[in-house]
Structure formats: C-alpha cells, structure tokens
Structure 1
Amino acid sequence: MTQFLKRAGVSLFVLIAGLSIGVSAHAASAPQTPTSPPTSIMGINLAGGFTQEPIDSNHVSGDTVTLAAQGTRNILEAITNPFGSRKYVWWESTDGGDTYSTVGSNSTTYTFTAPQVSSPTQLYFQCEYDFTGIGLFYSEWSRIATVTITPSRVPTTDIQVTSDSPGLYNGESTTVHATLTPSTATDPITWTSSNPSLASVDDYGNVTATNTSSDTSGTANDHGIVTITGTSNGHSDSVKIAIGALQNVTVNEGSDATFTLKDLPDGMSVANWYRVEDGTATALNSTSTSYTVAKTTVGGDNGTSYYATLNYTVNGSTKSVNTNSALLTVNKSGLLALTAVPNFNFDSVDVDALCADSTTLENHDYGTAGSAYDGNDNGELSVMDSRTTGGDWTLTASLAPFTLDDGSDGNLGTTILDLYDPTSRLDENVPDTSTATKIYTSSDYDGQDFDVTDSELNLPPAPQIVAGDYQSVMTWTLSVAPS
C-alpha cells in the first residue's frame, strides 16, 4: 500500500508495509486545481466532490462576508473507509493569487470582515475537503471564488438569474447564479423557492431537491417544476428547474404517453419500469430509458403512475434505487373514432361437403394475402369516444357478397357472418348482401373494445360451387344521432 503526500505540486509515494494512510500537506504557494463536480443520482454519490461551491461576490469595506462550500464523500470511500473523515480547510490569497495561506478550518463556511480599501480590491478563496484516514483517497478542491471589496456601495440596477442545471434528480443539488448590473454592484442577493418542500435554496444559491417519496401514486410532492428567484435592490429574476427523474404526463385520449429519464448518469442503467394502478405495481419488462403507453384511454390509463428501478455497481456489488413515480392524466379529447377493425380468415372447406350440406367455419387469427387485408389479425374491434357532449353513436357493418379472386361469383350463395364477442355479449348476424346491420349502440360517451376472434361464417349448401379462394369486403360505419 502507499502513503500519498501532496506538497507544492509534487507527488511523493512512500511504501508502508501493509498499510495506506492518506495524509495531505499543502504549501502556501499556489492554488490547487478544482475537483470535477461529483457524479450522483438521487443522493447517491458515485464520485465525491463539491456539491456546493463558494461563489464570487462584491462587498463594501466593513461588510461581514461569508463564503460557503459543501463536499461529499463518494460511496466507495464511505463503504471501504467508514472510520475515515474529512475536514474543511479554507485558503486565502491577498496578492492576486500568487500565494495562499490557511484562514479557516473544519467548517463549511468562512466568515470575515471586509477590510478597509481605497480602491476595488480582490481577494481569492479556495476550500479544501481534506481527507484523513485509511485508504488512497485524495483531497477535493473547490473552485476559486473572487471576493471584490470596494470603498463604497454600488447599487444594483438589474439582475439576471441562471442555473447550472435545468433539472435535478431527487436528492441532488445545483447552483443558481445572479449576474448583476453593473457587474460591480455590492447589494446583497436574496434567494427564494416557489416550493421549498420540493426544492430548497440557501443564501448562496445552492438548490437541493427533496428525496424520492415512498408514495408511488404519482401525486407525491417529489417531482414538478420549481421557480428559484433572486432579488437585489428591488430587482428580481427567476429560473425554472425540473425536480425529479420523471415528470407527470398529460395527453388526450387516443394519444401515446411517454415517460422519459433524461441525462441518466454514467454507471446507472434501467433495471425495469413499473405501472401502478390502485396501489398495485406491475413490472413492464422494459429496460429502455423511456416507456410509452400507446393509445391511451380515459377508462384504462387515466390516474395510473409509472416509475423505474435503476441499477448501479459499487465495489463489485449491484445496487438498486427507485425513481420518483409520475402521474399519467388522460383527458377526453372530444374525439369519436373507429380505431380498429378486424380481418377474418375462415380457412377452407371441402367442395364435396359444401355441395351436400351447410357448413360453419371458425375464424383463425392468422394473416391472409387477400387484396382487402389490412393487417389486423387479432380480432380487435374498437371505438374511442372521448366526447362530453353529442348524441349516441351507433356502429353498423355490411358484408359484400363473397367472390372469387378474379371477381366472379363462384356460386357460393348467401353466407352469414356471426360476429361474436363473449365478454361484451356481442352476437350479431351479418349477411353478405351488402346490407347494413347494427352492431352496437352506446349512449354514455364511453368507447368500446370488442374481441371478435371467435366469430364464425355460416355457409349454405352450394351444389354448384366453384373451387377457389373467396374473399369479401366488410364496411364499418360509425354514426352519431342528433343530440
């Protein structure tokens, strides 16, 4: 194992038999390179670093100035080095950044009184998150913050607010920044959140999202849009930040609804998606970064919620964490439409048998190559009704006479299609005479889904039948009576 010491930019490795103790000593000669931002998701820190950086600011001589920073240990360090520790060390440069000396220790904040100056003077500060303990873990370094001291107040005339991130997963943090006009303005900035229980903001613009709720209904206050506002000398500006891995989705009935995990961190993968209805979660067997609910309905999908389970690996072991649950709202769109009609394939019958007697053929749910075939082999017959006003709708069907492929008669005779759906008690006879037959009438503004896979075709005796392939076209008509 090795002992790592960092002094004046030189790395020394000293072998110590069987033990590695992390010790750091820093010369007061130059600033250290800031550590990359931590990689984390929903409060799980996959890589350590600073979750809050000290910010630049302007002050008047005699002001009380406070700088703040917040560091985090990565999850591997926390697991493998539970008795190790870190402390905060603050460094200051008063000579333009040429040399630094320690000014504060073991606190996330450093407070001082701005010195008396006769002209604008810049002080530089950097925070070290110093590691002490067993293991080869390095100190983390914040960005260098510039504090400008002026002899008198410079009023703020405008403010523009931006955020380091447009969205946060639960338990994560980001920083909002205020650009003041003029750039030398010394008035303080006050930060507020439109929903502090969803995402809080401190005095330094550090925004922290709430943790994921155990409530999977999609109605918990753990996701949504929060507005962060900065105010200085009566001037305000805001920025919106999306909180939560998933956001609610609202669509009109019949449209697809897609839930998307944006910016999934490296090292994280989707283990599965889940649909929650009436408190019961059902696995959806999907590992994509998005999940789509196709052709949503008010009756079947409105009020359901969705979440994902994410996997990550720590020290060779796979761990899991759930995202927040997001709600699906399906609105009635005012649309009445016939969304699916079936194809039928009645296979074959022996010519001699048909010549002698009537025959009943069962539908088979596999495709056919007929010219009227449109691809729906699963017996689906569906009407969507998302209206809130209007008259009753009626569905009718007419069946053209069966003919041979070349269009000739073939002497099949009049056949009857028994359109049958046991679950919806649909049982109607449709002759192949091109006569409109009423199939169903609805008066409650609700769509209907039928499964007519079990339909049958009744053929009369046909002594003069010609052998061959027969087909017919079925015409469906959806109409509305005047209200």
Structure 2
Amino acid sequence: MKKILLKLLVLLSLGVLGGGVAAAGSGSLVPQTVVAADTAPTPERTPSSPGDAWRVPILNFWVITNGITAQPSDVNAVQGTPIQAKLISTYWPRVAGIFGSNDITSVTARVYRNNQWADATATATYNKQAPYADVTLNLGALPVGTYYYQFGVHYSNNTILYSNMIKVTVLPAPKDATAINPQPDRPTIFWGESTAIHANLTPADSTSPVTWTPPATEVGSLSTTTALSTRFSSTVDNQGSIDSLMRNDNGLTVNFPVKATNTVVPGTINGSTQVTVGGLVPQAATANRAFSYLPAALTGIVFPSGATPSYQWSVYNSAHQKITTTAVLNSPTFSWASVAKPTVDDYYYLQLNIILTNSEGTTTWRSNYTRLTVTANQSQLIAVPNLSFLNFASGTPTTPKVADFYQTGGVTLNYAPLAGQTSKNTYDGNNTGFLAVQGQNWSLSVSASGFVHDLSGMSLPTNPTLTMAIPGYPNVAVPTNDTAVTLLANQQTNLATNLTSTTSLHVPQTAFMLTGKYQSELTWTLTQAP
C-alpha cells in the first residue's frame, strides 16, 4: 500500500488558522607518378544506396533491386603482393543473354592520384550465383603508398551504381598488429537487415591478415571472413521461420570473434564484437495512461535502393497471441492513448514489421518480441487546502471572540479562505480551498493534531471536531487527536474540487482560551488501492 503524505496547516485563531568472364576498366596505373594522398579525398561519386534481393515463396521468384549488398573493404598490403578488392552485388542472368535488367555487364575502377581522380586497371572476376554475384577486383601489385579507389558496377539496364571509397595502403615490409577493436556500423539491427563490421587494427596500416568467425547459419552470414571489414546479413523471415529467434525481449545477441595473424613476430591478436538482432527493448507503461515508443534502432537505418518503407506494429498477450487494441500501429512510433490493463499477467509483447516495397514486390524486416509491462495507475495527491475558520453566526464571517468559546454548547466556526494564511512552519497547502487527486483506485484520509497556541505553545484544553465537507460526498467528522479518518474510499476517477464554508470546526465549551492564533496540523494520506 503506497502512502503519499502532505502536511499543511489548520489555523484556528481568535483571529486566524494559517497554515544509421572478366571486364577490364579503362586507363592504366603508372606507378612512378603516383602521389600518395595525405588526407582522404571526397568520393568522386556519391555511393549508391545498397541493393537487395528477396524471394517470394508462394510464387517462387526473386524480387531484385540492383545494387551493392556488401561493400569492398580497405586493404593493407606489402609491396609486391597482388592486391584484391571484393564486393557483392545483386545479379540475375539475362534471358537468352538479351533480356533482363539485373545482369552485371562490367565493373570499373577509379583511383585518386596526383590530386585527381583517374581510370584504373582493375580485372574483375565473378562468381555468379543468382540472385547475388561475388566480384573480385585484381588491382595488381602497387608501389609503396596510399591509394583511394571507388568502383562502379554496370548493369544490363544501363545503370551504374557506385561503391564506397576504399583506402589501399602499400608498405615496404610487413607490419604486425598490436591490437584489434572490432566494431559494427550498427550495433542493433532488425531481422533481414545487415551491417558492416570493421576489425579496426592498431596500427591502422598493419598488414596482418584478418580472419572472422561466422555466426550460426540460422542467424545469418558474413560477406567475407578474410578482410579488414565484413558484412553481417541477418536472416530474412520466411513465413515464420525465425519466430523462435525473435522471442528475445532484448533481441538476440550475435558474437563475432576475429583475429589478426602476425608474421613478423608470429602470433595472433584476438578480439570480438557483437550485434543485437531485433531492434526493440523492453518498455513500461501505466494502465489508462498514454504511452509511445520510437525504437532507437530506427535512427540511422538505411533501406535498399528504391524501397519505400511502411510500418506495422502488432500487440500480443503473454501467450504470444495477437490481440486487438486502440493503439496506432502504422507509424514508426507505436502510440497508445490509453493503455489497457492486460487481462492475463501484467504485460504484452510488442513486435514491429518494416515492410519494404518497390515496383516489383515487397520484403519484410522484423523486430524481436519485446515486453510492454503495464503497471497500475499510481495516483497522485495534487493539491490540499490550508484551512482557516471564522464565525458565521451573524451572517457575516467575523473573527470569533474569547467569549464565544465559553458558551455552554461551544461554538461552530466555518471555513473561510484566507489569502495570506501563513505560519512559522512550511506546509504544502494552498489558500484557495483546492483539493485535487489524480488517478484511479485510491483512498484519501486525513488526521488532525490538537490545537496549540502559536505564541505560548499551550494546548487547547478541549478537542474540537473538524467536519470535512467535500462537495458531492458525505460530510466526514475528523477529531483533532491525530486519528486518521478516511474521507474518500476506493475512488475510480480524478478529483478536483474547492471546499466551501460547509466545512466547519466545532469547538466544545472551554473554560480557558488565550487570544491570538491556535493551529492544528493536518496530514493527508493518499493510499493506492490493491
């Protein structure tokens, strides 16, 4: 049971109460005239959006968006060693060698030298296994220096799509690695999405060969296992084929061990990184209140070339059964104006599909299932009033006289707000009679201490009774002896009201009374019902 306490002042006064087949490129590379670039140039062409290919199971055909799916990696090599750059592109053979827009006709290379971009010799060999082609570009043996390359993949529809720019560093002798710090471009991805992972050797121009350990096949694959960088492609769902992998509240963590093999001083340098596949993390909401969630994994996400994303959220009960809600489900941000309390357990599962559509079809990237825990609405005590009392016997509120308290029946005083009500202590009350509670399933009680003279510290020799009159509810008598009395029980709605002069204080007859101010402390307690 949760209690919220607010203290304020009741002042009785005889005054006041206060209180994210080969083809050769044109041109030749003349080693003697190469000038190493001190700093990286700007890519000659803006790198193109990634391509993609997905299978439509029922119709048994592939939907292809031309483009590079795994970018070439930087290369560090020793002088005299043939240098290769590798990339993966979408591919589909032309029918009868004539018809079709997804065949690769050539790959060309450009190199940055003498402070300008120029054609470079690059012999391409292909391993074509539709819907992808592994392309190896032989750049030859280069003299010592630093080179920057960019490649263009030419397709049978007369389009050219461009790679990222890579850095090729040629050293006069091998250089061992002293450290390895692998990092992914995107630490969290959705199922069906991919991300580059970089070995990050120290020193950066180390020539030690790098080897990556691939993940379990059901999780995904690497574009290469022997390069400074690789690309992890997570598994695309095929009619629920990865449902069990998706049942991880925080996503599935996939580890990527990697090593650099030194040759100068034989040995290995080992490292590891991880990528979380899923995209969602557990959330919490309050019943009957608004909730929204924009996954952080959507920040910096890159969609395949030509694909338009749409979003579809689903809500499941604790048994992974889809349910109907009033939530907004077709936006990147999941939003629910008033979260319904789960009928079973205290949580739901949220799951997001990102549907990618181009002119030929669709594919879906999927998130994990993550919990949305729903807690009871925690009520809040928003405002409580200070109380001051005056004598209304004459019809006009006046300060009571000492003699009023000597009467046989005592005296009944009524609430009258006092704008300037103050005291020697600090209290939480307002001087406008405003009482407010926000929430559901709450109860409100109050206790009042005995009255004490403000200056002398003497207690009032009798115990007055406070009658709390909350508009719309029965009056409740509250003794001034620190006994808590329930004013409102098991309330289901918010409360916002102002006390009126119906609230009263009855002071029994007393034989002793000092002039001045008498004060009592009210303690308001808000209890959250079970």
Q: Does 1:110 align with 2:110?
A: no
Q: How many residues align?
A: 356
State whether residues 249 and 368 of structure 2, in contact with CA within 8 Å, keep that contact through their aligned partners in structure 1: no
Distance 1:337 1:253, change over 3 A: closer
What amino acid maps onto 1:323 in structure 2?
A: R
Gaps of 5+ in 2: 1-22, 30-42, 56-61, 93-97, 128-133, 262-267, 384-431, 448-465, 479-483, 494-499, 505-521
Provide the TM-score with structure 2 as the length reference.
0.50
Q: Deviations over 1:144-181 (max 9, x none)?
A: 54544556432222233343334323222222223333
- Indicate how the Cα distance of structure 1 residues 37 and 398 shifts in structure 2: closer, same or farther if over 3 A, else same: same
Among 98, 101, 104, which residue is 1:87 paired with?
Answer: 104
1:279 matched to 2:279? The reply is no
C-alpha displacement of 1:191? 2.0
Q: 1:404 to 1:170 in 2, by over 3 A?
A: closer
SS at 1:306 equivalent: strand
Query: What is the match of residue 259 of structure 2?
Result: 231
Where structure 1 has 5 or more consecutive residues not aligned to the other structure, the ranges are 1-23, 75-80, 344-368, 383-394, 406-414, 418-430, 441-449, 454-467
TM-superposed deviation, 1:305: 1.0
2:485 to 428, 436, 442: 436
Match of 2:434 among 352, 368, 371: 371
Pick the structure with greater CA Rg. 2
Q: 1:296 to 1:190 in 2, by over 3 A?
A: farther
Aligned to 2:195: 174
Alpha-carbon deviations, 1:285-334, whole Å to 9, x = none? 3144333678998986645211235466644x9968463243216599xx
User: Following superposition of structure 1 onto structure 2, how do residues 345-424 of structure 1 map, counting pairs within 5 Å?
Assistant: 371-374=434-437, 380-381=440-441, 397=445, 401=467, 403=469
Deviation at 1:69, TM superposition (A): 0.6
- Aligned with 1:304 (options 343, 348, 354): 348
Percent same amino acid among aligned pairs? 15
Q: Which residue is equivalent to 1:211? A: 236
Q: Distance in 1 between matches of 2:137 and 2:356?
A: 39
Partners of 1:402 and 1:471 lie apart in 2 by 5
Q: 2:155 aligned to 98, 121, 131, which one?
A: 131
Deviation track 1:83-109 (CA, whole Å, cap 9, x = no partner) reads 333226344689957443451243313
157, 168, 173: which one pairs with 2:178?
157
CA distance in 1 between partners of 2:146 and 2:467 (Å): 93
Residue by residue over 1:64-94, the C-alpha shift from the partner in whole angstroms, topping out at 9 and shown as x without a partner, is 76532112479xxxxxx99333226344689
Q: Is the 8 A contact 2:89 2:135 kept in 1?
A: no
Alpha-carbon offset, residue 189 of structure 1: 0.9
Structure 1 331/64 Cα, relative in aligned 2: closer, same or farther at 3 Å? farther
Q: 1:36 aligns with which of 48, 52, 60?
A: 48
Query: Is 1:291 matched with 2:334?
Result: yes
Q: What RMSD, in angstroms, separates the aligned Cα atoms of the two structures?
A: 5.6
CA distance in 2 between counterparts of 1:222 and 1:45 reads 31
- Give the distance between the partners of 2:161 and 2:77, measured in 1 at CA: 27
Give the alignment partner of residue 339 of structure 1, picking from 365, 379, 392. Answer: 379
Say if 2:111 and 2:150, in contact at 8 Å, map to a contact too: no
Cα 1:404–1:37 shift into 2, 3 Å: closer
Residue 47 of structure 2 aligns with an amino acid whose one-letter code is T
Structure 1 pair 95–436 and aligned structure 2 pair: CA distance change class (3 A): closer
* Change in CA separation of 1:297 and 1:196 when aligned onto 2, cut-off 3 Å: farther
Equivalent residue for 2:294, pick from 253, 260, 265: 260
Give the CA deviation at 1:219. Answer: 1.2
TM-score (normalised: structure 1): 0.54
8 Å CA contact 1:216–1:276 kept in 2: the answer is no
Shift of 1:338: 5.9
In 1, distance between residues paired with 2:211 and 2:156? 36
Could you say which residue in structure 2 is the equivalent of 1:142?
Answer: 163
Q: Which residue of the partner structure matches residue 68 of structure 1?
A: 86
In the TM superposition, what is the alpha-carbon distance from 1:55 to its structure 2 partner? 1.4
In structure 2, do the counterparts of structure 1 residues 284 and 322 end up closer, same or farther at CA, with 3 Å as the change threshold?
Answer: farther
SS state at 2:76 partner: strand
Indicate how the Cα distance of structure 1 residues 222 and 51 shifts in structure 2: closer, same or farther if over 3 A, else same: farther
Partner amino acid, structure 2, of 1:372: L
Gap change, CA 1:474 and 1:151, over 3 Å in 2:
closer
1:396 Cα deviation (Å)? Answer: 7.7
> Of 301, 305, 326, which aligns to 2:369?
326
Q: In 2, Cα distance between the equivalents of 1:222 and 1:375?
A: 33
Displacement of 1:123 after TM fit? Answer: 7.3
Structure 2 equivalent of residue 241 of structure 1: 275
SS at match of 1:38: coil
Is the 1:35–1:140 contact (alpha carbons within 8 Å) kept by the matching residues of 2?
yes
Amino acid at match of 2:434: S
**Contact 2:314 2:351 survives alignment (8 Å):** yes
Are 2:380 and 2:438, in contact at CA under 8 Å, matched by a contact in 1? no
Partners of 1:322 and 1:216 lie apart in 2 by 15
- Measured in 2, the distance between the counterparts of 1:105 and 1:32 equals 24
Distance (Å, rounded) in 2 between the aligned partners of 1:155 and 1:240:
25
- Give 1:206 shift: 1.4
* Alignment correspondent of 1:463: none
Q: For 1:158 and 1:45, how far apart are their aligned partners in 2?
A: 42
1:110 is matched by which residue type in structure 2? Answer: T
- Structure 1 residue 56, shift from structure 2 partner: 1.9
Question: Residue 175 of structure 1: SS of its match in structure 2?
Answer: strand
Q: Is the 8 A contact 2:87 2:135 kept in 1?
A: yes
Q: Is the 8 A contact 1:200 1:208 kept in 2?
A: yes
Q: Secondary structure at the match of 2:213?
A: strand
Higher relative contact order at CA 8 Å, sep ≥6: structure 1 or structure 2?
2
Alpha-carbon contact 2:290-2:339 (below 8 Å) kept: yes
Query: Which deviates the most, 320-329 or 205-214?
Result: 320-329
Name the CA distance, whole Å, in 2 between partners of 1:274 and 1:191.
36
| 1:354-402 Cα shifts (integer Å, max 9, x gaps) | xxxxxxxxxxxxxxx98324455xxx215xxxxxxxxxxxx78579745
